[in-house]
Every structure is written in structure tokens, then in C-alpha cells.
Amino acid sequence: MVFKDIFQLYNIGKELGLSRKEINSVLLFKNRYPLVIALMLIVILSVLAILFWNVALILYAKSTEPVYPRGTLYSSISLKDFRDKK
């Protein structure tokens, strides 16, 4: 359906006496470089945001690990360990 509309716009432009270059400049952007640069910037920023989020999640997971092994309620270090030290 979109191609049919574009073809119809070409025909209308030809009937008005416009050249193919003029019709293309109306239908498409005259200068595509800003569009390409904007799309590249969006892609780069989204990749950086995803990487930052993953690093933040990994650091958060590492910082919230339990101090003692899983299943223990207290440390295995006792006062005897410090008395025997010379």
C-alpha cells in the first residue's frame, strides 16, 4: 500500500512537470547525513547504557554477597584462634 502511494506521488509529480530529482527531494530528505548521524548516536548511546546497566548490576550483586558461607549463622572463627597466636 505504501509503494502504491509513492508511485502515485511520482505520477502526480510527473504530471506537474517536476523532474525525478525534484520529486525525490520532496519525498526523501535532501541531506541524509544528519539522519544517519542521529541514528548512529542513538545506537551508540543505547549500547553504552546497556553496558553501564550490566556493570552496575554485576557490581551490586558482588557487593551484596553474604559474608559467611551459605547455611551458616555465624563465623567459624573463635576466641581460641586468637589466644594461640604468638
**pLDDT per residue rounded down to tens, the chain (86 residues):** 667 877 887 788 888 888 877 777 777 766 667 778 888 999 999 999 999 999 999 988 888 776 666 666 666 677 776 776 55
Q: Domains in the chain: how many in total? A: 1
Asked whether residue 75 is domain-assigned, the answer is no
- Say whether pTM exceeds 0.85: no
CA 81 to chain CA centroid, nearest Å = 52
Under DSSP, is residue 45 helix (H, G, I), strand (E, B) or coil? helix
| 5 vs 11: CA distance, rounded Å | 10
Residue 72 lies in a domain: no
Answer whether residue 78 is part of any domain: no
Q: Residue 44: give the domain boundaries.
A: 2-63
SS3 84: coil
pLDDT at 51: 96
Residues ≥6 apart with Cβ < 8 Å to 6? 27
**pLDDT at position 43:** 96
Cell of 70: 551459605
79 within a domain of the structure (yes/no): no
Distance CA 27, CA 44 (A): 28
Q: Which pLDDT does position 61 carry in this prediction?
A: 84
**Residue entry with cell 558461607:** 69
